[in-house]
Amino acid sequence: MGESDRRGSAPRVAAVPEATPARLTVSPLPRRAGLRAAGEVDLVTRATWTRALEHAVDEGEDVFHLELAALTFVDVAGAGVLAETVRRLPPGRRIVLHQPPSALSRILQMFWPGLPGIEVSPS
């Protein structure tokens, strides 16, 4: 019998902080066709990511910019949504990624090397 059991009170358990669900915020760019994404792309936020990327197809601009400097994580499925979006673009249109997480660049290179219609900007 433990010490707390002899006294008749429940044993003390340290409080475990609840995990905060992943968040993804997407907002339009002020001066050009495109979006700014911040947060994480994973199972929880994939629907938001997918809806946001639909704008790239629907927008009709030759170049659609994605500013991703504040994106901290993209899983393989999220990268796949991006690749599928790029494949759906009409010929001559492209998506330019600005400051994507290094993992996203690696995933795209590994699974979709040389995918036409996607460009990673050095800035």
Tokens, residue 107: 């995933």
Task: Provide the pairing of β-strand 94-98 with 118-121.
Answer: parallel
The letter for the amino acid at 78 is: G
For tokens 């991006």, what's the residue?
82
Model confidence pTM above 0.85: no
**3-class secondary structure, 106:** helix
Does the domain at residues 23-121 carry the CATH identifier 3.30.750.24?
A: yes
**What is the pLDDT tens value at each position of the chain, 123 positions in all?**
554 445 555 545 555 445 555 699 999 999 999 999 999 999 999 999 999 999 888 888 899 999 999 999 999 999 999 999 999 999 999 999 999 999 999 999 999 999 999 999 876
